[in-house]
Amino acid sequence: MSRSIDYGKLMHEAMRGLIQRVLVGVQDNGLPGAHHFFITFDTTHPDAHLADWLKERYPSEMTVVMQHWFDDLEVTLDGFSITLNFGDAPETLYIPYDAIKTFVDPSVEFGLRFDSQDEAEELDSEADDAPDEDDSDPDTHSTNGEAEVVSLDSFRK
């Protein structure tokens, strides 16, 4: 058994499960009301599939929009495939959940951001180098560099 609980990993798994459930609902019933999604993903992920011309145009990450027109949405346990229109050129993509960097539904000011392992290690390193915070201030929270904060403010209108 591990000597510690990996809350960051558990949180990411839960958030990816939420995305899966939302997409299953869209697969079964379509997008309700004004809901639409901006999904940014890592195009270098080994399980991501997209046309070569899209990989060339977006060598590291890409943001897709699910709103007015999409087709063939198929949601699986590990990711989803979808056909989207790129300048009157329909292309099918497969996006694994663990390639997703952000998932935003601006219609309800909801968003999730996933830090990569490199970003998390960089944040941990910065936190380790930072001086300890004064715990007497009720608005200041001290961490040991292990906590992960998901801020929704950056997705607000």
The CATH number of the domain holding residue 62 is 2.30.30.220
- Per cent of the chain over pLDDT 90 is 52
- Strands 110-113, 61-66: pairing is unpaired
Average of per-residue pLDDT values in the chain: 79
Q: What pLDDT, on the 0 to 100 scale, is given for residue 129?
A: 54
Q: Specify if 133 maps to a domain.
A: no
Whether residue 1 is contained in a domain is answered as no
77 belongs to a structural domain: yes
List all residues 6 or more positions away from 4 whose beta carbon is below 8 Å from its beta carbon.
Answer: none
Domain assignment present for 132? no
- pTM, to two decimals: 0.70
Q: Which domain holds residue 76?
A: 7-127+140-155
**Residue 49 to residue 94: CA distance in whole angstroms:** 5
When divided into structural domains, the chain yields a total of 1
More confident residue, 8 or 116: 8
User: 36-89 pLDDT, tens per residue?
Assistant: 999 999 999 999 999 999 999 999 999 999 998 889 999 999 999 999 988 888
pLDDT band at 139 (very low <50, low <70, confident <90, very high): very low
Residue 101, in any domain of the structure: yes
Tokens 């694994």 -> residue: 96
Q: What is the pLDDT of residue 154?
A: 52
Q: What is the largest CA-CA distance in the chain?
A: 59
Domain annotation covers residue 21: yes
Q: Is there a domain that residue 107 lies in?
A: yes
Task: Flag whether 148 is in a domain.
Answer: yes
Q: 34 burial class (0-12, 13-18, 19+ CB within 10 angstroms)? A: exposed
Q: What is the mean pLDDT of residues 9-32?
A: 91
